[in-house]
Amino acid sequence: MTAPATIDARLRHGRVALALSFFVQGAAFALLVTRIPAVQDRYGISDGLLPVFLAAVPVLAGAGSVVTEQLVKRVRPSQVLRWSQPLALLALLGVGYGDGMVVLALVLAVFGLGVGALDASMNMLGVSLQRAYGRSIMLGFHAVYSLGGILGASLAWAGAHWHLSLGVSYLPLVAVTVPAALIGSRWYADARKGTPPPRDQERDQDQERAQGSGVVFRMLLPLCLVMTFAYIGDSTVSNWSAKYLQDVLGSSEQLSTVPYNVYMVTTLIGRGLGDFGVRRFGPVVVVRAGAVLAATGFGVVALAPGAWVGMLGFTLLGLGLCVLVPQTFAAAGRMFPHASDAAVARLNIFNYVGFLVGSPLVGALGDTWNYRGAMIVPLVLVLLTLGYARSFAPAPARYGDGHERPRALDVG
């Protein structure tokens, strides 16, 4: 397909500014989660209490996404993002310099709410910009998020290596990114709405709008399930890859830290190339290929005879899982072009559902059965995505300035 003949400067600047926000969010989140042991030591959190604090962040993030759905009825998503991102960054700094459990609980609550608001508003803007561009660009935003995650994890490694305090580790990132985010927010672009949906969807949406909402949940449900399955897979890698390699496959402690970094790098590569795949083959093919590749990765991990084969499995996982979440947001925007902000906000909640379910599920199965068997569960869940792949099918709509060829794919 071809893009609209002209993309005005406002949209180009908006794309760069939004990419910056994705990068900052990826770095901040990675810097927090990869230094959780240091947070635990600083505040004297017991092993029994730690899961409560860890679960509170995604729960409150889900609440932040719900609040954002209501906020964007009154203000633009760009305004929500403009102020929620600095708030989350300052809360991160509060984690580094806070004193006492009460302070930690408060700053983590602010961080969770801020993350939910900025995750929802970032993806709202990404969906609307993709619609205005008339071609797939959503995976590119999430690729930049992965790049930020690599930076954040690297900063966390440096802080741990040189035994830096949390405050000293967090301060440089916050000091640079808060002004950068505020300056970049001047160029956020709330792109215009898309064209009308197909008639069968339009009837359902008209019926739902008559009841006070533009989103039909039974239509959105397949995408919610795919989002949950994808994040169950992602949380399995982030929380259990090191333990799996060391305890099950017999790797050294040093080598056990490699799979997550490999996963992040392959996620970056897959997302960086994914938009080209969507433009060439369409979102359904890309989602199916990603699901099969991710399932193959889990299978390789489960059957791996040694650490290096296990790392090959985690490499395949990164290349497969990385396309699912961005394409799920894009599909929600296509499905509800007149209520895409509400659809994205509701879909975003299932990001946190998957995160909450995935790690405890695999841990419980690993403890009661074995960790090789536990890897079969995310494998099966990812394969279930194949049954919902048609929900990603493009609608026969037109985009942008109306310069696409008739055979152009609708990519969101």
152-191 confidence digits (pLDDT tens): 888 888 888 888 999 999 999 999 999 999 999 999 997 6
| Same structural domain, 164 and 246 | no
In terms of phi and psi (left: phi > 0; alpha: psi -120 to 50; beta: otherwise), the region of 212 is left
CA distances from 172 to 29, 90, 168, 302 (A): 15, 12, 7, 40
Task: Say if 171 falls within a structural domain.
Answer: yes
| Joined tokens for residue 310 | 């296990």
| Same structural domain, 317 and 355 | yes
| Same structural domain, 296 and 162 | no
Task: Say if 245 falls within a structural domain.
Answer: yes
Q: What is the per-residue pLDDT across 42-84, written as a single tens digit (0 to 9) for each?
A: 999 887 788 788 888 899 999 999 999 999 999 999 999 999 9
| Joined tokens for residue 290 | 């990603």
- pTM as predicted: 0.84
376 pLDDT higher than 90: yes
CA distances from 163 to 40, 63, 159, 166, 403 (A): 15, 35, 6, 9, 56
Task: Say if 265 falls within a structural domain.
Answer: yes
> How many residues does this entry show for the chain?
412
- Report the C-alpha gap between 240 and 217 in whole angstroms: 33
Residue 386: give the domain boundaries: 194-395
- Range from 68-82, 213-227, 384-398 carrying the lowest mean pLDDT: 384-398
Last residue of a domain, one of 192, 217, 242: 192
Task: Say if 14 falls within a structural domain.
Answer: yes
CATH of the domain at 286: 1.20.1250.20
| Same structural domain, 387 and 328 | yes
Beta carbons of 64 and 117 less than 8 angstroms apart: yes
- Report the C-alpha gap between 58 and 54 in whole angstroms: 8
Q: What is the per-residue pLDDT across 231-251, written as a single tens digit (0 to 9) for each?
A: 999 988 887 887 888 888 987
| Same structural domain, 368 and 225 | yes
Domain total in the chain: 2
Task: Say if 366 falls within a structural domain.
Answer: yes
| Same structural domain, 100 and 221 | no
| Same structural domain, 222 and 368 | yes
CA dihedral sign of residues 45, 47, 53, 58 = positive
